[in-house]
Amino acid sequence: MSLIVQKFGGTSVADTERIRHVARRVADAYARHPEGVVVVVSAMGKTTDRLVEMARELNPEPIPREMDMLLATGEQISIALLSMALQQMGYKAISLTGAQAGILTENVHTKAKIVNINTDAMRRFLAEGYIVVVAGFQGITADHQITTLGRGGSDTTAVALAGALEAPVCEIYTDVDGVYTTDPNVVPEAYKLAEISYEEMLELAQLGAKVLHPRSVECARKYKTVIHVRSSFNSREGTYVKAMKDLEVHRPVTGVTLDSKQAKLALRDVPDKPGIAARLFGALAEAHISVDMIIQSVQDDATNDIAFTVHEDDLNAATAITRQVGEEMGAGETVQDPHIAKVSIVGVGMAGTPGIAANMFQALAEGGINIQMIATSEIKISCVVSRDQARQAVQLIHDTFLIPEIDDELALSASGSSEGLA
């Protein structure tokens, strides 16, 4: 058997009893994988959220470097406690921070990308029979600054380590039984998918299905690592994220997502001439702000309105940049709308099935939900709606497209949010 990488999320390590339970699962894996087990853990429970709150109490706009310094501590608690639990059970275990595990990132704070992993230290410990416990979500820059990979980034640590260590499978243990047709905590009728392609999972993750961090899926696709998303509270098979041929896909729509972390910005009365959009979006890109949906509406012959969405955490920085660029270009006012959400459908079978978009819009219309923006690609359709109608929108769209099929394991909503320990 080969080496395996396992990752346990925040809920799975929320208290010492759960950490002990995780230690037992890791020990089981060690018995099955004598070549070695690498375990990645997240911060305990809501630790990261609490750290963010404390930072904001002291400073509403903390410097990203200090944010990383703070947030990286959460995972450090978990690795030490899990190693202690394993040692108490008689196993050789060692905890490593991102830096000690050789995870080198680019020089960007709060959303750094991994650029290289030096596996020497991990391999040395594995060869000596240690279970290696690595802090998720963090790394180090070439000039020794601690960085984090963006919220939910422990998944990416795990899959990147699997790639670097040539482990064929990365197990992601979480608080749901696998990847569902939509968030089972929003739509009780959602059901678990037995398997899903990298392409569809990447879209779902990018569009807000937080069960996997988007970059973890990119990484898995690149190194052909199979991700097995499963529950840490039972031993049922979860969802396999893997390479799939189009022929294996039966449905036009595989999943529905909700992203409630988006915010909208509009720059009014923009002079209608070449180069303006390039300048605005160039300035935002330079500040490492990703822009998602963009709409340019023609107002009259001479001016346009440009509206776009960004992550809500970037709203203030994006507003300041937009205002400045707007003033330089002689545009009108910059207007914020933080009360939006994006609902999307994803499916590789969508391309060959006419009428999918119309059905989605019809579902929203029947619920009296206004669509503010629309974006489409070959395998997804997204609509921006008001945030207070977003959950209803997801329910309506799920009812329209996703009725359980025989080849997908039916999952009861109760198992989707199981809190008990198996």
By C-alpha distance, which of 80, 206, 96 is closest to 140? 96
DSSP 329-366: HT---EEEE--EEEEEEE-GGGGG-TTHHHHHHHHHHH
**139 contacts ligand ASP (rule: CB under 6 A):** no
d(CA 386, CA 341): 6
**78 contacts ligand ASP (rule: CB under 6 A):** no
Instruction: Pull the structure tokens for residue 85.
Output: 């639990």
Which span (7-15, 223-231, 288-296, 383-391) binds Mg ion, by CB under 5 A?
Answer: 7-15
Distance from the Cα of residue 411 to its chain's centroid: 22
Query: Going by DSSP bridges, is the β-strand pair 303-311/262-271 parallel, antiparallel, or unpaired?
Result: antiparallel
For residue 272, the minimal CB distance to Mg ion (Å) is 43
Among 36, 45, 74, 255, binds ligand ASP (CB under 6 A): 74
d(CA 146, CA 19): 25
Identity of the residue, 9 or 74, whose beta carbon is nearer to Mg ion in the bound complex: 9
Contact yes or no for 405/250 (Cβ under 8 A)? yes
The residue whose two tokens read 């992601």 is 172
**344 contacts ligand ASP (rule: CB under 6 A):** no
Distance from the Cα of residue 293 to its chain's centroid: 18
By C-alpha distance, which of 233, 241, 237, 234 is closest to 209? 241
Contact set with ligand ADP (CB under 6 A): 9-12, 42, 152, 174-176, 179-180, 182-185, 209-211, 255
Interacting partner of 151 out of ligand ASP, ligand ADP, Mg ion, none (Cβ under 5 to 8 A depending on kind): ligand ASP
For residue 18, the minimal CB distance to ligand ASP (Å) is 14
Contact yes or no for 66/75 (Cβ under 8 A)? no
Interacting partner of 183 out of ligand ASP, ligand ADP, Mg ion, none (Cβ under 5 to 8 A depending on kind): ligand ADP
DSSP, res 303: E
For residue 218, the minimal CB distance to ligand ADP (Å) is 17
Among 111, 151, 192, 311, binds ligand ASP (CB under 6 A): 151
Identity of the residue, 30 or 233, whose beta carbon is nearer to ligand ASP in the bound complex: 233
For residue 19, the minimal CB distance to ligand ADP (Å) is 14
Identity of the residue, 208 or 252, whose beta carbon is nearer to Mg ion in the bound complex: 208
d(CA 195, CA 409): 10
**111 contacts ligand ASP (rule: CB under 6 A):** no
Interacting partner of 11 out of ligand ADP, ligand ASP, Mg ion, none (Cβ under 5 to 8 A depending on kind): ligand ADP
Among 36, 45, 102, 152, binds ligand ASP (CB under 6 A): 152
Which span (52-60, 76-84, 144-152, 347-355) binds Mg ion, by CB under 5 A?
Answer: 144-152
Distance from the Cα of residue 403 to its chain's centroid: 25
Identity of the residue, 321 or 348, whose beta carbon is nearer to ligand ADP in the bound complex: 348
For residue 174, the minimal CB distance to Mg ion (Å) is 7
Q: Side chain identity at 310, as an amino acid letter?
A: V
For residue 42, the minimal CB distance to ligand ASP (Å) is 3
**43 contacts ligand ASP (rule: CB under 6 A):** yes
**45 contacts Mg ion (rule: CB under 5 A):** no
Interacting partner of 74 out of ligand ASP, Mg ion, ligand ADP, none (Cβ under 5 to 8 A depending on kind): ligand ASP
By C-alpha distance, which of 342, 351, 349 is closest to 377? 351
CA within 13 Å, CB half, 236: 22
Task: Give the angle 91-95-73 at the CA atoms, nearest 5°.
Answer: 145
Closest residue (Cβ) to ligand ASP? Answer: 154
Q: What share of the chain is helix, strand, coil (3-state, %, to 5)?
A: 40, 25, 35
Identity of the residue, 67 or 393, whose beta carbon is nearer to ligand ASP in the bound complex: 67
**8 contacts ligand ASP (rule: CB under 6 A):** no
Identity of the residue, 26 or 158, whose beta carbon is nearer to ligand ASP in the bound complex: 158
**152 contacts Mg ion (rule: CB under 5 A):** yes
Instruction: Pull the structure tokens for residue 43.
Output: 């911060």
Contact yes or no for 168/126 (Cβ under 8 A)? no
**137 contacts ligand ASP (rule: CB under 6 A):** yes
Identity of the residue, 172 or 345, whose beta carbon is nearer to ligand ASP in the bound complex: 172
Question: Which helix H or strand E contains 87, and what residues bound it?
Answer: helix 64-88
Contact yes or no for 292/310 (Cβ under 8 A)? yes
Q: Which residues of the shown chain bind Mg ion in the complex (CB under 5 A)?
A: 9, 152
Q: Which residues of the shown chain bind ligand ASP in the complex (CB under 6 A)?
A: 9-10, 42-43, 48, 74, 136-137, 151-154
